[in-house]
Structure 1
Amino acid sequence: MTLATGIGSMPGDDADAFLQATRVVLERLPDLPHLVEVPGRGATAQMTGRALAVVSGLAADLQPAGWRLTGTGGGSGVDHRRARSLLAQDLDVLEEETDGYTGAFKIQVTGPWTLASTVEKPRGDKVLSDHGARLDLAQALAEGVRTHVRDVRRRLPGVDRLVVQVDEPGLASVLGGKVPTASGWGRHRTVHPPEASDALGWVLGAITDEGAEPWVHSCAPGTPLALLRGAGARGLAVDVAQLGAADHDVLAEALEAGESVVLGVVPSTDAAGASMPGEGQVVEAVTRWLDMLGLDPASIGGSLAVSPTCGLAGASERWSRRVLALLRASAAELT
C-alpha cells in the first residue's frame, strides 16, 4: 500500500487557518495525516520557534536578529513562552479534531543541526560556533522530543503508529561549511560527519526509545542520506528533483530493508506559473523511478509514500488542497 502524506506546513496566518488546515489534512490524507504547522502566524509558529517550544531545560527569547538562548541563569522570554503556549493550543485543537481517530499519525520537529545554525548563543553568534553549546542543544532537543511524543500519545490514544519527522534542511550547509557567521563576512567551520551523526542520533534514538518511528526530511540538495540512515533514521523524506546519483542507491537500500521512503513528487507552491501535474503523471513518475531502481512496487509493501516536494506554507490555500487530493488519488492508483 502506497501512502500519501504531507511534509508539515500549510498556508494561513491565524488560529482559524490552523483549524481549517487540520481538517483538510485529516480528510485528504486519512492514511498518514500529520500535525499541521502554520508558520504564517509568526516566529513562534515557525520551525525554529516550534522546536524551541519542544526543547527541554533551555530558555530562549526572540531578538531582532532571531532566536537566542538566554543561558542557564536566564528565564524564557515572552515569545518563548508564547511558542510553548501556541504548541499546546494546537495540540488541544488536534486532540478535539481527532477524537476517535485510529491508525497512523505523523508529527514534525526541527533537527539539531538546523536548529544550531539558526539559534544564537547568549552572547551572540550561532550555537553552531560552539562545540559544547551545539551538543547541549541537541541533548536538550532529544529530551524534549521524548516528552513531546508522550504528550501526543496521551492526546491521540488510538494512534498505533506514530512517526516523528525530524526536519534537517540546514544539515548539508552545516557539513559543507556554508553557514554564515553573524558578521556575514565569514562561514562557520565544517562539522565533521561523525559528530553530525552522533547529535542527530541522540534525537532519533529518543524517538525510537519512545516507541515511535524516526524519519528525517530534507528538501535541500546534498543532504547525506547514508549518514541519516546510519544515525538511526528509519524513514527518508526527499524531493525527487534534488536527488544526486548516489541518493537513489541509498533510497533503494532503505526500501529493500523495509524502511520508509517519502518521495516529494508534486510542486509545493503555485508560484512562477507552476502547473499541477495530473494523477497519471505522478503515478508514471513514481513507477519509472521504481523501475530505474529495479524494484517491484508489489515488493515494497507500505514502505513507499508520496508527498509534496516540501512544505505547503508558501502555496495558496486552493493549491494546497489540490495537492493533497492529488497525492491521495495517486497513492490509491499506485496501490
Structure 2
Amino acid sequence: MRPSPADRPPVSDGWLSDPEAALEEAFAVKPDPTAVALPSGVATGIGSLPGTDINEAVRTVFGELPDWPYLPELPGRGVGSDMIGRGAALLAGLPVQWWASGWQLADLPGRDARRAADFLERDLDALHEVADAATGPVRLTAVGPFTLASHLWRRTGGAMIGDHGALADLTGSLAEGLRHFTAAAQARLPRAQLSIQLDEPGLPAALAGRVHTESGLNFYRRVPVESARDRLREVVDALDIPVVVHCCSTEVPLRLLQEAGVGAIALDLTLIGLDDVAAVDALGEYLDSDGRILAGVIPGFGKADPGMAERAAGRITALWERLGFDPELIAQQVSVTTTCGMAGASWDYAREAMRAGREAARRLRG
C-alpha cells in the first residue's frame, strides 16, 4: 500500500529528478545489516585450514563457500600463526614475546610477536587481493579473551586468567586491537558486510575453574559468570560489526553468550546427544529466543565419502524434530559448518568438506 500524501516526506525541487522513485526508496523496508552479515541457511567454515599459502586458502574459501566466506587461519606457518600468537599480536599496548614454550607479556614486542603481526597483515592483504569487490558477508577470526588469558603468561609467572584484574586489562586491550583489526579489514573490503568470530574453546573451563596452573597440579579460581558476561559484552560493544563466538565444547554457555550480545554461536552439534535432555533443552531455549547457530556437523578431518552431506543435514533435522520446531525455521536460524577447524586435514578433504556443507545447506533449505 502506498503512503497517503500526508505521510509522505516533503519533496523539494532539488531532491531527485524522479519523485516517485524517491518515495519508493524512502518507504522501502531496509535489510537488517546484522542479518546480512550473519546469514542463515548457508554453508560456512570455522577457522583453520592446512598449508602455508594464505592467498590459496582465501581463494579456496571464497570459491567453495561463496554465501559466507571467512578469513582462514593457517597455523602450519609456525609460531605467530597459531591461535594464541594471532590474538597476542592484536593486543593494544600489551607487548608480548614467545618464551620457551609459550607466549608471555614483555617490555617490548619480541621477534615472534612482530612475525605474528606480519602474518595478520598478510592475511588482510590476501583478503584485499582476492575479494576487494565483495559485497556480501565476510567473517574475520580471532581468539576470545578467556582462551587467550588462559594461555598468555604474566611477566611474574602464571596465566593472566589467574588475576581478574589482569583479565580485565587484557580484555580492554584485545577489544581495542580488534577494533583496529576490523577497521583495517573494512578498509580493504569497503563494500563487504563484516562479522568477526571469536574462538573460545577455553571459556567453559574458565567458568568452571578447570584451567591448570603452571605446575599442572592445581587450577586457577573460576571466572564468575557475571564477570565473564561483562568482559564479553565489553568486546562486543567495542566493535561496529556483529560477533560470533565459537566454542567446541559439551558445555557451551549459551545464555551467557546471548546476554553478552553475541549475534550467533558456533558449536559442535555432534557433541550434543539427542537424549541429553539438559543440553537439548538449553539449545532449544536459545533457539526459541531467535538465537542463531553455526552448526558443526561436518567432521574437521578424515576421509570424505558421498554420505557426508546427507548425514550432516540429518543431524540438524533430527535435533529440530526432537525440539518440535517448525522445520521451515532451520534455514532462518542455522548455517552449516565443520565441527572445528581443518588444520589437521588434507586439502582434498577440506575442499570436499566445504562442498558437503554446501549440499547439506541446500538440503535444509528444501
Aligned residue number for residue 167 of structure 1: 199
Aligned residue number for residue 100 of structure 1: 133
C-alpha deviation, 1:33, in angstroms:
0.3
Aligned residue number for residue 287 of structure 2: 255
Gap change, CA 1:175 and 1:94, over 3 Å in 2: same
Are the aligned partners of 1:235 and 1:260 in contact in 2 as well (CA < 8 Å)? yes
Aligned residue number for residue 208 of structure 2: 176
**Equivalent in 46, 53, 59 of residue 23 of structure 1:** 59
Aligned residue number for residue 147 of structure 1: 180
Q: Secondary structure at the match of 1:10?
A: coil
Are the aligned partners of 2:236 and 2:262 in contact in 1 as well (CA < 8 Å)? yes
C-alpha distance in 2 between matches for 1:197 and 1:276: 42
Structure with greater Cα Rg: 2
Residue deviations 1:198-235 (CA, integer Å, cap 9, x gap)? 1111112223xx1x111111002222111111111120
Gap change, CA 1:276 and 1:63, over 3 Å in 2: farther
Residue deviations 1:75-123 (CA, integer Å, cap 9, x gap)? 1111111111110011111111003222001111111110110000012
Aligned residue number for residue 42 of structure 2: 3
Output the TM-score relative to the length of structure 2.
0.84
**Equivalent in 153, 167, 170 of residue 137 of structure 1:** 170
Q: Secondary structure at the match of 2:332?
A: coil
Output the TM-score relative to the length of structure 1.
0.92
C-alpha deviation, 1:63, in angstroms:
0.5
Aligned residue number for residue 119 of structure 1: 152
Residue deviations 1:4-54 (CA, integer Å, cap 9, x gap)? 010011011x2x2x2222111101100100001001111201111111122
Runs of 4+, deviation exceeding 4 Å: 273-276
C-alpha deviation, 1:62, in angstroms:
0.4
Query: How many residues of Structure 1 are paired with residues of Structure 2 in the alignment?
Result: 323
Gap change, CA 1:190 and 1:275, over 3 Å in 2: farther
C-alpha distance in 1 between matches for 2:132 and 2:114: 27
Q: Secondary structure at the match of 1:142?
A: helix
Are the aligned partners of 2:304 and 2:353 in contact in 1 as well (CA < 8 Å)? no
Which region of structure 1 is more displaced relative to structure 2, 151-160 or 322-331? 151-160
C-alpha deviation, 1:301, in angstroms:
4.6
Q: Secondary structure at the match of 1:109?
A: strand
Which AA in structure 1 matches 2:361?
A
C-alpha distance in 1 between matches for 2:70 and 2:253: 25
Residue deviations 1:225-265 (CA, integer Å, cap 9, x gap)? 11111111120111012235434334334434443211100
Are the aligned partners of 1:28 and 1:324 in contact in 2 as well (CA < 8 Å)? yes
Within the alignment, does 1:202 sit opposite 2:234 as a pair? yes
Q: How does 1:63-74 map to 2 (within 5 A)?
A: 63-70=99-106, 74=107
Identity across aligned pairs (percent)?
38
Aligned residue number for residue 75 of structure 1: 108
C-alpha deviation, 1:64, in angstroms:
1.0
C-alpha distance in 1 between matches for 2:77 and 2:309: 32
Gap change, CA 1:274 and 1:27, over 3 Å in 2: closer
